[in-house]
Chains A and B, each alone.
Chain A
């Protein structure tokens, strides 16, 4: 079996930052696995500004922020990038099995950094009742459809949840010519950043209903309407407040969850306070470690994982 010094799973902001700092701290052999055909992860579809203020002290869009790291990595000979590469298994012995077109390989790593990111919580996770018509999307999927594929999934939109992606998509839909009927947030306060409430909703007169939930989605083939109901402090429905909104699309922006199934399947436990795990030499960073608000913070924290991996490898010698 091929042995590698450091294998990093995930080529988004976390994996790239970890790779760069690991290199800066003396790791001579780094393999970076990315499942997509480009580095940059979710930043590629985040075409809005708001990145880099902390880290670069300038306002950048997601692709621009990613580009700085991509260009840097491509100039580091010690980092080997493997694209379209999907890690399917991880063991406690730090053996990683991955699939790419034409091949499946297992390699043994001395150190591993898992930077597999996160996924969006879905309608199913928040248990919204009703039918299952076409027109129900996660905010991130809608973002990808519009920004990467140039496809507009709907024209009359209701957004469930006021996470940052949902707010940003509200503005994006309006810019593309759709109407955003409302953003519905079950908590008393929006969950996204205030600046996004201002520049994405208020700028475009999009109504925000806090303390409300969508209690049902209806429509036979395509979404036709949602039912909205106010909730009390205990989040119980106040049935007499129920009202309907006609729409053809429902977007869910109800939070993110770490995507670390590989770590779980390996029976590895993540140390909640640091980027380490109960397996020496195995680290976790970025959204796979915890859900971050800002990519800049992901970069900063993931750099630490890169240093930790470098120090671990140094101690092995």
Chain B
């Protein structure tokens, strides 16, 4: 049995942000993830927006943590070598009535502390967003909105956390938790955690299990919240359309979502979506014809030149919804358990602030946090050919010939980058794709899949028949001729 001071359940962007935050202190931390790789749950379908903090209810955790998170994300991105682009966002109005709502949003945003909000007129829009619909009369400009890769964020946070002593266990699905009341929280092991692979005990539990946070809570007798999955279908456009907008484009928000957006991504491909549909099945990530029609219809209103033919990929994600706000609290009924649930939008933006809040909660319950003298806060930036200019690539290849061995032609990813991703923890084709973009382009892996499978097989020693898309059950191959 492995024992830790704190066990974090859930290896999405929230769990990894918490792990990294706590790794600054002299405590033993374990992180459990049920999937084969980190960020394979809610985080993988995140749209990568770092929100400025607008569109959140007053006095909400969402609003407060989003504004803080927006600032913290920039610092973390610098420390970990993750690309963060402050592209700004525009919430658009089609008529006078909507323009008045913009003013209201601006006021609300300013109360939450969102900086530099301003209303821009049609003339400004024509100059800065020439592809926007001419029917748009004004927009609320939030210059501090930005974009980041949600999965690279999770991977880089976890890598840095590991460097600072955190132990990560993937394919470790929590099956039951035994919570024993203890006299001294923080001194004694209050929790015994049984997973599909190993047993653990810990003094504290941080429940950041995303869609399954209610089930984890239920194992400890906490049953006052439920997670309802809210499905969002997203559609990725060809990189050729990278500059179709210069900002993130939002319609006015509705009650259940921020609406269907035109999203710039740090991978280059614009994204359109998401839809918002409450579902019951936590595994239902199917897309529908209706979803596509709805998204296309909605974004054409914003940017009329977007076409169905521009779409090269689509997927659906599930937002872990529980009421209107995040639930982040210490469970008085189960001392030592911190719940981090209902982290839907703006969860990615808020993640670093959530991590800081969890740290404070742990401290308040008695966890002794002494800073490490040698916390390694920096991480060397991963080289991605697609993210650097060609003159630099020339140097990169001269230094390491493997960078000149291009495996994914659509996204220009080299064998070196793929091998590096595997070294950093990629175990599956999706894991490679999320880290490097290999297979994420317009041919959808038609050309590079065999090469990626072979590299994965060589680097991990697994036979080709055991290479998977995203874990057990998703093997790519049924039979190898060499096996007779």
User: Interface residues, chain A, CB within 8 Å of chain B?
Assistant: 35, 84, 86, 88-89, 97, 99-104, 119-120, 122-125, 127, 129-134, 137-138, 140-141, 144-145, 148-155, 177, 215-216, 218, 220-222, 248, 261, 264
Contacts and interface: CB of A to CB of B under 8 A. Distances in A.
Contacts of B406: 35, 86, 99
A100 B308 contact: no
A103 B449 contact: no
Contacts of B475: 134, 222
B241 interface: no
Contacts of A35: 406, 409
Contacts of A177: 479
A124 B313 contact: yes
Nearest to A100: B404
A102 B395 CA distance: 10
B444 A103 contact: no
A88 B390 contact: yes
B312 interface: yes
A166 B171 CA distance: 37
Count chain B CB atoms within 10 A of each CB in A102, A140, A155, A220 and give the residue with the most: A102
B283 interface: yes
A131 B308 contact: no
A190 B282 CA distance: 40
B478 A153 contact: yes
A104 B393 contact: yes
B401 A101 contact: yes
Given A122-B446, A151-B465, 8 more contacts: A101-B397, A101-B405, A129-B289, A133-B469, A141-B449, A145-B477, A149-B454, A152-B481
Interface in B443-484: 443-447, 449-450, 454, 464-465, 468-482
B477 A99 contact: no
B145 interface: no
A119 B479 contact: no
A137 B448 CA distance: 12
B445 A132 contact: no
A148 B450 contact: yes
B398 interface: yes
Majority SS at the chain A contact face: mixed
Given A102-B404, A152-B479, A134 B312 contact: no
B314 A124 contact: yes
B409 A151 contact: no
24 contacts: A88-B390, A89-B390, A97-B390, A99-B393, A99-B406, A101-B397, A101-B401, A102-B398, A104-B404, A120-B443, A122-B443, A122-B444, A124-B312, A125-B311, A127-B311, A129-B289, A134-B476, A137-B449, A149-B454, A151-B465, A151-B479, A155-B479, A218-B286, A220-B473
A153 B314 contact: no
A145 B404 contact: no
Given A88-B412, A120-B446, A125-B312, A101 B402 contact: yes
B102 interface: no
Contact of A153 (B287, B442, B472, B477): B477
B446 A138 contact: yes
B288 interface: yes
Contacts of A89: 390
Contacts of B285: 131-132
Nearest to A152: B479
Interface of B: 240, 283, 285-289, 291-292, 308-309, 311-315, 390, 393-394, 397-398, 401-402, 404-406, 409, 412, 442-447, 449-450, 454, 464-465, 468-482
B420 to A, nearest CB: 16
Count chain B CB atoms within 10 A of each CB in A35, A89, A99 and give the residue with the most: A99
Given A88-B390, A127-B308, A130-B287, A138 B412 contact: no
Contacts of A99: 393, 397, 404, 406
Contacts of B449: 137, 141
A130 B287 CA distance: 5
Contact of A104 (B292, B394, B471): B394
A239 to B, nearest CB: 11
B464 A151 contact: yes
A172 B382 CA distance: 42
Contacts of B474: 133-134, 221-222
B268 to A, nearest CB: 13
A144 B450 contact: yes
Contacts of A133: 469, 474
A248 B401 CA distance: 39
A144 B470 CA distance: 21
A313 B356 CA distance: 67
A131 B470 CA distance: 14
Contacts of A102: 397-398, 401, 404
A215 B468 CA distance: 25
A171 B468 CA distance: 26
A53 B426 CA distance: 47
A248 B291 CA distance: 25
A248 B283 CA distance: 19
Contact of B478 (A127, A131, A148, A155): A155
Nearest to A218: B286
Contacts of A144: 450
Count chain B CB atoms within 10 A of each CB in A89, A120, A150, A248 and give the residue with the most: A150
A131 B312 CA distance: 16
Given A102-B404, A104-B394, A215-B289, A221 B473 contact: yes
Contacts of B477: 145, 151-153
A102 B400 CA distance: 7
Contacts of B480: 150-152
Contacts of B470: 134
B384 to A, nearest CB: 14
A264 B239 CA distance: 13
Contacts of B289: 127, 129, 215
B450 A141 contact: yes
A260 B394 CA distance: 23
A129 B394 contact: no
Contacts of B482: 150
A86 B414 CA distance: 11
A123 B454 CA distance: 24
A120 B312 CA distance: 12
B463 to A, nearest CB: 10
Given A127-B308, A148-B450, A151-B477, A103 B390 contact: no
A314 to B, nearest CB: 33
Contacts of B397: 99, 101-104
